[in-house]
Amino acid sequence: MSIQLTIKHLAGIVSEEDILRQSAQASECNQALYNGSREGNDFIGWVGLPSSITEEQLRDIEDTAVELRTRCQAVVVVGIGGSYLGARAVIDALSSSLDWLSAKREHPVILYAGNNISEDYLSELTEYLKDKEFGIINISKSGTTTEPAIAFRLLKAQLEKQVGREEAKNRIVAITDVAKGALRSLAVTEGYKTFVIPDDVGGRYSVLTPVGLLPIAVAGINIRELVKGAVEIEQATQPSVSFEYNLPAIYAVIRNELYKRGKKIEILVNYHPKLHFFAEWWKQLFGESEGKDQLGIFPAAVDFTSDLHSMGQWIQQGERTIFETVISIREPNRSVRIPHDDVNLDGLNFLAGKRVDEVNKMAELGTRIAHVDGGVPNVLLEIPELSAKYIGQLIYFFEKACGISGYLLGVNPFNQPGVEAYKKNMFALLDKPGYEAESRVIKERI
């Protein structure tokens, strides 16, 4: 059992023949991810990553997770973008929705910092941690990225004040560059436990490195199953696999064919609230990989059925520049049946005895039909259940599809030259040393 891809509801815009005509080009793009023949070849270490993870590496991550779980009631993951989104995507997908409220927790509460510069958020977080035994996983290649650097500075000072500097060293883990950078220097000086961010794996592709695996393991999730699922899709998408059986390649072609036909926005749809942050990870993956050179599909996401009551009208009848990719979970992990009510004031007795998921599935099917009838092409991705193995499959599916899709589009899917523009302006406005010339120009403009 694995991911299933259904492509028969493309609203007559892209045909099977259109897809097959691109099979050779898609296969060439897939091959380039292995032979490094195209741009970005210094960042394709993720391609063979799942199958290269060793038993020693997994055990080291698991042992460190046990150490943090033993010492901490809460663990703060400090990072931004790919340094935290992958971990949060998996943790939210595979944990109880109300886990953080439980008084009988088996694992630490996982909290996040360094993904914003909100003073209120940081104040509330540090206030919450005042009477907690907490630890920190600090994730940064350089250690100088503004948002996580501010958060880590605050949290490190608080942790050392609460438990002392020596004990704090046992509760801080640094995931950073192998040899250089501010965080690596600090970790060596203080004696923190460290893991390496591979040089050839970019942040948005790093969830299957210690960047994602350590926080996920601390949350009590089976990282071996997660990796196993990714390995299965890695093996199923080798260059030797025919295009007709390479599902990420087919998906990549469909996206680009729809883009050529004016479908500029892709909406990732889920019918399970636990997948909200998986969609956030997906948005970064595709947005940062393809949005350059004045090109790229705009990645958006909705949580159905909730957003049917807010975005549903626009999707049904708004500008026809969109298509949908729907993630469907075949079987939920729990069972709840709708009870009979003698009074039946809500008129729902026709649903009595049915599982809630049956209602959800009919809402999903009815919505997909309505949207296709309304001119919205629809791609369906179905997984058997919400489990570590199948989330691992989805992660690698989208990573591989994104690499192929970017090459089909004609961009380097592994760089992000535009993300520095705001930082230059921010540093100039804050009068950072070395930005005096930029500061004068910016202040004249405002």
Catalytic residues: 288, 309, 423
| H or E element at residue 386 | none
Query: Which residues, in sequence order, are CB contacts of 252 under 8 Å at separation 6+?
Result: 26, 29, 401, 402, 404, 405, 408
d(CA 237, CA 247): 8
Q: How far is the CA of 402 from the CAs of 24, 32, 259, in angstroms?
A: 17, 13, 14
Compute the Cα dihedral for 259, 263, 264, 267 and give only its sign: negative
DSSP letter at 364?
H
Q: How far apart are CA 341 and CA 348, in angstroms?
A: 8
Beta-strand pair 109-113/4-9 = unpaired
Beta bridge partners of 193: 173
Do residues 413 and 290 make contact, with C-beta atoms less than 8 angstroms apart? yes
Q: Rounded to an integer, what distance in angstroms lies between the CA atom of residue 277 and that of residue 286?
A: 14
User: SS3 for 86?
Assistant: helix
Cα 375 to Cα 404: distance, rounded to the nearest angstrom? 26
CB 318 within 8 A of CB 327: no
Count of all residues that appear for the chain in the document: 446
Number of Cβ within 10 Å of residue 440's Cβ equals 10
What is the C-alpha separation between 192 and 172, in angstroms, rounded?
6
